[in-house]
Amino acid sequence: MNITLPTSITLFRIALIPVFVVCFYLPYPWANQAAAIVFLLASVTDWVDGYLARAMNQESAFGAFLDPVADKLMVAVAIVLLVAVNPSPLVAIPSLVIISREITVSALREWMAELGSRATIKVSFVGKAKTTAQLISLILMIYNEPILGLPTFNIGLIFFYIAAVLTLYSMLIYLKAAWPVMSKHS
């Protein structure tokens, strides 16, 4: 298998996960900032690898598989860590919604691919808005230090709820698009 530059960047994003976890748990006052920077770097590489794959005409089946896996791994790890240090229903409920949606949509995509209908389920604008709100929220919640006197965690939590609502809405869009195929094969 030929590992392209975009796929190498995706693999780098996966390699950042343990670095992120270590930074998150470091016993230093700057640990939150370091973890937020690592998460931000991983988020930027998500955009860069996709851009390069298209620009360099290096899109591959392996890259198309690995990219969403890398995204979901990093986001799930960040969410689990945030719930662990903020054990509150305010954090847990949107976390459960987001992780449950990711599992559901991933399973739906896999099933649709087995049925030969993968093209039926495509990334929508709502999905992109959900991802953007989710990444902003997680970076702010991980950073968790005031910026210009503003409470970043609370602002991040607002974005987290926006992401959770968009998550549910995008899941409904996926289910609606898949429904004709699902009902035919049930």
In the chain, % of residues over pLDDT 90: 58
Question: What is the DSSP-derived secondary structure letter of residue 3?
Answer: -
Percentage of the chain lying above the pLDDT 70 cut: 94
Helix axis angle, 125-143 relative to 61-85, nearest 10°? 40
Farthest CA pair distance, the chain: 56
Q: pLDDT 10s per residue in the chain (186 long)?
A: 678 898 999 999 999 999 999 999 999 999 999 999 999 999 999 889 888 888 888 888 888 888 889 999 999 999 999 999 999 999 999 999 999 998 988 888 777 777 776 555 556 688 789 989 999 999 999 999 999 999 999 999 999 999 999 999 988 888 888 787 777 766
Q: Are 32 and 91 in contact (CB under 8 A)?
A: no
Rg (CA), the chain: 17
